Structure 1
Amino acid sequence: MNVEQLLNAMTPEVFERLNYAIETGRWLDGTPITKEQRDSCMQAVMLYQSKHNYDSQHMSVAAGGEVTFKSKAELKKQFSEAEEDILRVKVDN
């Protein structure tokens, strides 16, 4: 399978499962992943991000294959804007 075939076959759900395996070191069923599986998953995730990631986080591969970095100020601004969307409810005991 070439890179384009791999990217065309990957769904967002597959991407999330591979990303989960990389982050936790385990498959969804709890089975540990091997180093070789982790390396392959990481390559697939980076390839997927290079084609589909239009909202890159602090340090990730953005669409087009560029590694993007956000400054601390950019991240603070992003999180403060997102905080406005949070509904705060005070619960009296």
Structure 2
Amino acid sequence: MTFEEMIDSMTYEVYESMKRAIELGKWANGQKLTPAQREQSMQAVIAFEHRRNVPEAQRVGFIDRTRPDGEQHGCDPLQPQVLKILNS
């Protein structure tokens, strides 16, 4: 089975289980994730979210930048930023 086939056959339960394992650093049975398992699980979770069109606000790594008034915190990440160099 290829990686793409695995992602296509993955259920939401498996997806949630992988997210939880990454978060805790161990599988549901208590066995610790190896660094390779952690990396592969992260890739699978991100690919699953992309394939299944999981809403952006529910994706791994999402940071809500909206304030209560609806404006954005910080600057627009798509706009260039001005860097000021101060001589001391």
Q: TM-score band, normalised by the shorter chain?
A: 0.5 to 0.7
Q: Taking structure 2 as the reference length, what is the TM-score of the superposition?
A: 0.64
User: Within 5 Å, which residues of 2 pair with 1:1-93?
Assistant: 1-57=1-57, 60=60, 70-73=64-67, 76=68
Unaligned runs of 5+ in 2: 71-88
Distance 1:58 1:70 in 2: 10
Q: Taking structure 1 as the reference length, what is the TM-score of the superposition?
A: 0.61
Unaligned runs of 5+ in 1: 62-67, 79-93
Larger radius of gyration: 2
More helix by share: 1
Letter in 2 for 1:71: R
Question: Of the two structures, which has the highest relative contact order with CA contacts closer than 8 Å and spacing of 6 or more?
Answer: 2
Distance 2:3 2:40 in 1: 12
Q: What percent of counterpart residues are identical?
A: 30
More strand by share: 1
